[in-house]
Chain A
Amino acid sequence: MMKGIRMNKIVTGLLLSLALAGWVNAETVFVTLEKDNALAVVDPVAGTLIKTVPVGQRPRGIAISPDHKFLYIATSDDNTIKLFDAETLKELVKLPSGDDPETFALNPAGDKLYVSNEDDSLVTVIDIAKKKVIKQIKVGVEPEGIAVSPDNRWLVSASETTNMVHWIDTKTNEVVENTLVDPRPRAVSFTADSQQLWVTSEMAGTVTVMDVKTKQLLNSIRFAVDGVTADKIQPVGVVIDKDRRRAYIALGPANRVAVVNAQNYEVEKVLLVGARVWNLAFSPDQKRLYTTNGVSNDMSIIDLEKLTVTQSLGVGTYPWGVAVKP
């Protein structure tokens, strides 16, 4: 009898550890490959490329729905944003996105999609359930970076040529305010508490931190990398951890990711990754960071506890966007 109970315990333990192992391995990273017209599926824990799936012409922007069931991919040359089943990677729906969609943002509820239409200087608002365009909002020239605040109060669009961020009220879909930022703003990101907006400026080589309430500048961060000339430091992707302890900024052709203390805005470290690092994404537990390196055709995996790059993994030609499914 005792033996039976012990056996049961062992079997339960084994099953539990297997389930846990399965859970650890379940995290999947998706990378859009601009030149391969495909999506790379990566197991970041094992550090292997699982498969590459064709998704459409020139895929760039990518996002995962809040319930992690659907993937949205902007296939720029197909002039559409496609919806995929995140498990089977089967194409479900094509959404009307306007011409040449590149970057887009989902609202926290996951029912609206905001798309930057670079050539038309527009932001297109799409109702996902109805598959319909609700509104097109006129913004500055060449809108690129776009983000919705986690409290769903603000939609922010950055226009590269006008050098402005446009504050759009999500209730009315109207531009409420415009703020000048450093030349060629590329990406925008809100902190988890919706109190700050971080804007990267590619030409100026800076990151502007703004207070959401006052829309005023809080700080401007500059970068310097030993052995790299200033013109190569072109900040693009930016992510901030949920406790606002650190922010990570992709420095483009400087081939580095900058680690910035999000409390005092000091650059703590720069990490060497692949060539022309562009976009960034956290693992669900925020212990790892994934980067897409456009020119070296790989992604890098950064251990955020040790602040070291653990691996750079070939994924395909021109990796662009990255999304993570827990």
Chain B
Amino acid sequence: MHFWRALCGIVGRELWRFVTQRERFISALVRPLVWLFVFAAGFRAALGLAISPPYETYILYEVYITPGLCGMIQLFNGMQSSLSMVYDREMGSMRMLMVCPLPRWFLLLSKLLAGTGVSVLQVYVFLVIARLYDIQMPWQGYLWVLPTLILSGLMLGALGLLLSSFIKQLENFAGVMNFVIFPMFFMSTALYPLWKLKESSALLNKLAQYNPFSQAVELIRFALYGQFNLHAFIYTLLAFIVFMAFAIMGYNPSKGMMTRKGAV
């Protein structure tokens, strides 16, 4: 019962925060939409001719990057949650949360679920706008993508949590942008398929292949076309478990980074 109330409280707070902060809602959508309408428009014919699964025919570039932009929404959301964790810690509301008589892992997981819920909402709004822009997936794809969005959202959120346990001050967030978000996004299959990366650099191709963000994007891409990519699913799930385990360790005052930093 306590668990349930705490979960509802945390998720409710996060959703409420999201809905009431209209600027945050709009800005979360503007980023992928600019990529879709401006960036992709310039690269319409750039994909060349190979057809790679799950596609069965030729596609425009904007169709290709749509799943990648869904992933981008979740990546930025994960980082945003990590930012808010650091903020909470600085403001002291984290202390309130951490002293409640529930296991720490549960509190972190609740926080994670809350962030994921928000990112899933954002992705669906984005997909609706993309559909109006004639980027249409099969109807069942919109349903199939829900569980994959939850898993990828959890994985990227866990990564955010892990990072937030490292970040001492709010100002350091710029470093996270440069060292985590951009390399993760650009060295992935979000913008270019693997075969295209392979043409330019074997190293880049390998990096993109092992990038968990790539796997999350591929999981979303296949699901949007009603297909299940087992390899991407296992990879994303494992990445989530590893990130989450380290995040829980990171937030443990007796073992984690907190002791060294003396924060919380």
Contact = CB atoms under 8 A, between A and B. Distances in A.
Q: Tell me whether A and B are bound partners.
A: yes
A195 interface: no
B47 to A, nearest CB: 10
Contacts of A308: 136
A227 B57 contact: no
B44 A309 contact: no
Contacts of B41: 227
Interface residues of B, number: 11
Given A311-B56, A312-B56, A274 B44 contact: no
Interface string B54-84: 0011111000000000000000000000000
Contacts of A274: 49, 58
Contact of A300 (B44, B45, B57, B136): B57
A311 B57 CA distance: 5
Contact of B57 (A228, A275, A312): A312
Contacts of A309: 57-58
A300 B59 CA distance: 12
Q: Which of A272, A275, A300, A301 has the most CB of B within 10 A?
A: A272
A67 to B, nearest CB: 33
Interface in A268-326: 272-275, 296, 300-301, 308-312
Contacts of A227: 41, 44-45
A229 to B, nearest CB: 10
A88 B136 CA distance: 41
Nearest to B50: A296
Nearest to B57: A312
Contacts of B49: 274-275, 296
A228 B58 contact: no
Contacts of B45: 227-228
A308 B60 CA distance: 13
A226 interface: yes
A255 interface: yes
A310 B57 contact: yes
Contacts of B19: none
B139 to A, nearest CB: 11
A312 B44 contact: no
B202 interface: no
B51 interface: yes
Interface in A221-259: 226-228, 255
Contact of B58 (A47, A226, A272, A301): A272
Contacts of B59: 272
B60 A272 contact: yes
Interface in A149-183: none
Interface of B: 41, 44-45, 49, 51, 56-60, 136
Given A226-B44, A309-B57, 10 more contacts: A272-B57, A272-B58, A272-B59, A275-B49, A309-B58, A310-B56, A311-B56, A312-B51, A312-B57, A312-B58
Q: Which 3 pairs from chain A and chain B are nearest by CB? A: A227-B44, A312-B57, A311-B56
25 contacts: A47-B56, A226-B44, A227-B41, A227-B44, A227-B45, A228-B45, A255-B58, A272-B57, A272-B58, A272-B60, A273-B57, A273-B58, A274-B49, A274-B58, A275-B49, A296-B49, A300-B57, A300-B58, A301-B57, A309-B57, A310-B57, A312-B51, A312-B56, A312-B57, A312-B58
